[in-house]
A and B are shown apart, each in its own frame.
Chain A
Amino acid sequence: MTVSPAHAHEHPDFLRHHFNTPKQQFEAGKLGMWLFLATEVLLFGGLFVGYSVWRGNHPEMFKAGSIFLNTNLGAVNTAVLILSSITMAAAVTMAQRNKRGALMLFLSLTLAGAVTFLVIKYFEYTHKFHLGIYPGLKFYEKPAGDSHTLSGSLVNDAGGVDLVLVKGTGPLGQDVTVADTPEAEPTTVAPAAIGPAGLAQDALEPGDRPADDGHAEHLTHPLQDPHRPANVHMFFNIYYLMTGLHGVHVAAGIGVLTWLLIGAAKGRFSSAYFTPVDLGGLYWHVVDLIWIFLFPLFYLI
């Protein structure tokens, strides 16, 4: 807004007033984007560390929970994202080569990949909700297809009490079901040894649990498994949290790609100025990369 007329003639339109050269502006933008992506990686890094800690404390709940994820859908989504990364890279190259039509084509393909990913994710989520596998304590309310009542305390095979549900009012004034362990002896609530919660109570000996005899395959809800370890709901909480945050980033990516597509249609990008396409591409690659880690962590191992 304070660009003086004298400066305007030496500056291309896209060059903002406080930069001296387009190269300086491009490099500033690129460094800024890399730093921003570093913060994104650290944001997810907290969750990845949490994943390691929770998994380290409760390997059995990850084992019992992960069989309810659909590996095929996850694999398709992984392929979709990898393909969209390739088309994004192609889009950047097309911008650098001044090929506006090809740029728009590849941006559209990338966008299509992003949308496909979210659609598949939507079906995965809604299928689980349909089965009663909800995030939070709703998980314990009404597993579909389960005939016996699950109110009251849930005693699992390991002898521990999962939790006891108490109806009450939530912090936002909503009706919630909160967990409490009023009847439980301290020994079932707290582990017997110093260490993270549940280490002693939940660690099942290999013989305690029917090995992968396939009987878990036809279950539609973890609570139907009488041999389930305590706190199996935690697996799904972590799953929803990490894939949910990733999904938010994919949705943001759709916004960015749409904006780029509009810019490309208006002819804003050229071999002299392709910074937004390049930076948008960097962001998209990082979003893909995070999924490349999420997929094996939840679906495969």
Chain B
Amino acid sequence: MIAHATLLALLGTPSPAKIPGSYFGMPEQASTIAGDVDWMYDFITWLCIFFFVVIVGAMVYFVFKYRRRAHVADTGGPTHNTPLEVTWTVIPLILVIAIFYIGLKGYVHITTPPANSYEIEVIGQRWFWTFRYPNGAAETNILHVPVGRPVKLTMESDDVIHAMFIPAFRVKQDVVPGRRTELWFEATREGEFDLFCAEYCGTQHSQMIGKVIVYDEDEFEVVIEELARWIDKVPDEKLHLAGALMYNQCSSCHTLDGSDLIGPSFKETHELFKAAGTRQLIDGTTVAVDDDYLQQSILKPLDQIAKGYPSSMPPGIGTQLGDRKLQALVQFIIRLDEVAPDGNLIEVNRQDIVVEEVEAEEAE
């Protein structure tokens, strides 16, 4: 293995296909660039190990060999040697130029998305990701991508700086408010991979994580098609169950068991609704917790801030949902006692609530 890497280093021909993986703890490789990056990582690490062994080896050897045997004030010995010093200045210089060059080559590749990339819009908000597909489909915290096809993410932030980081793909890019940033990759394997926010963004920064799911091309088409249309196929009486499927968008701020996070617990809101109660707002007024209030507080969250809570809910959440999904969330809160009887969400499968006939009937 070592000889293999050394040989590659000497030949200078990175060939990711032939490399089994990183020797030094890099995660599984699942994108076209991962092999190249790992090759560079391994190359630099071997170089580091070489220099580390030389330096620390010499140090330990000298400390042992020239350890003090008596109280000598001065041992004489060489005080300088210009050719030697020039040598150990120039050799590292040549080496780092080489490292820079290979790093540069890899980087140019990483920053240039192929022209035929499949484009997905990404919105980073505290503390979740929203992915939007060309066909109108949207999903939170789960990024669906096809295998073997370049994917370009066009990313925006709604509040502070976030960073999209997919370790298995070896890609990372900050998502900066006021700018659109891009990131591209081409997955080489089907499977599920981690997706992190890598730029500190506040309380729930470590919860701003998700999954990348890689499918083969055909399955991918089916998945995003389903993603775009499933909500339309949910009958009205099951909308609250659809809301349950969307709750992961809300979960970093609103609990189901009555405990406080950033915003009021849905349980509290639900109980107020049932009791036809009112809620105190930050400006001193009260508002009746009714159907209209539920809708408005999702659509225009900053207009009616509940007393005791910060005004931190991004207004974009509600407006992105679309009418049907908004209704699903409202129904979810209204019928919370059915979907989360003891503060824990009941298990809901999308297949179980989607009724294909609905679409058929409308078609007729």
**Residues 84-123 of chain B, each 1 if its beta carbon lies under 8 Å from chain A, else 0:** 0000000000000000000000000000000000000001
Chain A residue numbers with a CB within 8 Å of B182 are 194
Chain B residue numbers with a CB within 8 Å of A193 are 180
The reply to whether B302 and A166 form a contact with Cβ atoms under 8 Å apart is yes
How near does chain B come to A270, taking the closest CB pair, in angstroms?
50
Given that A168-B311, A182-B315 are contacting pairs, would A189 and B178 also be in contact in the complex, using a CB cutoff of 8 Å?
Answer: yes
Please count how many residues in chain A sit with their CB below 8 Å of the partner chain's CB atoms: 16
At the interface, yes or no: B65 with Cβ under 8 Å from chain A?
no
A196 to B176, CA, bound (A): 10
Given that A168-B311, A190-B156 are contacting pairs, would A182 and B300 also be in contact in the complex, using a CB cutoff of 8 Å?
Answer: yes
How near does chain A come to B202, taking the closest CB pair, in angstroms?
15
Chain A residue numbers with a CB within 8 Å of B179 are 190-191, 194-197
Residue of A166, A168, A191, A198 near B180 (CB, 8 A) is: A191
Residue among A186, A193, A195 having the largest count of chain B Cβ atoms under 10 Å: A186
The reply to whether A191 and B178 form a contact with Cβ atoms under 8 Å apart is yes
- Identity of the chain B residue whose Cβ is nearest the Cβ of A178 in the assembled complex: B311
At the interface, yes or no: B308 with Cβ under 8 Å from chain A?
no
Residue of B123, B180, B316 near A194 (CB, 8 A) is: B180
Chain B residue numbers with a CB within 8 Å of A180 are 302, 315
For the A-B complex, the count of residue pairs with Cβ-Cβ distances under 8 Å equals 34
The reply to whether A190 and B180 form a contact with Cβ atoms under 8 Å apart is yes
How near does chain B come to A21, taking the closest CB pair, in angstroms?
35
At the interface, yes or no: A183 with Cβ under 8 Å from chain B?
yes
The reply to whether B156 and A186 form a contact with Cβ atoms under 8 Å apart is yes
Given that A166-B302, A182-B300, A182-B302 are contacting pairs, would A190 and B178 also be in contact in the complex, using a CB cutoff of 8 Å?
Answer: yes
The reply to whether B316 and A186 form a contact with Cβ atoms under 8 Å apart is yes
A166 to B301, CA, bound (A): 12
How near does chain B come to A194, taking the closest CB pair, in angstroms?
5
How near does chain A come to B259, taking the closest CB pair, in angstroms?
25
How near does chain B come to A18, taking the closest CB pair, in angstroms?
32
At the interface, yes or no: B251 with Cβ under 8 Å from chain A?
no
- Identity of the chain A residue whose Cβ is nearest the Cβ of B299 in the assembled complex: A182
Chain B residue numbers with a CB within 8 Å of A194 are 179-182
Chain B residue numbers with a CB within 8 Å of A166 are 302, 311
Chain B residue numbers with a CB within 8 Å of A195 are 179
- Identity of the chain A residue whose Cβ is nearest the Cβ of B179 in the assembled complex: A194
How near does chain A come to B300, taking the closest CB pair, in angstroms?
7
Chain B residue numbers with a CB within 8 Å of A196 are 178-179
Chain B residue numbers with a CB within 8 Å of A198 are 178
Chain A residue numbers with a CB within 8 Å of B300 are 182
Within 8 A of A (CB), among B266-318: 300, 302, 311, 315-316
A191 to B300, CA, bound (A): 23
Query: Can you list 28 A-B pairs with a CB-CB distance of less than 8 A?
Result: A166-B302, A168-B311, A180-B302, A180-B315, A182-B300, A182-B302, A182-B315, A183-B315, A186-B123, A186-B156, A186-B158, A186-B316, A189-B178, A190-B156, A190-B177, A190-B179, A190-B180, A191-B179, A191-B180, A192-B180, A193-B180, A194-B179, A194-B180, A194-B181, A194-B182, A196-B179, A197-B178, A198-B178
Please give me the 8 A-B residue pairs with the lowest Cβ-Cβ distance, nearest first: A182-B315, A197-B178, A194-B180, A190-B156, A182-B302, A190-B178, A186-B156, A190-B180
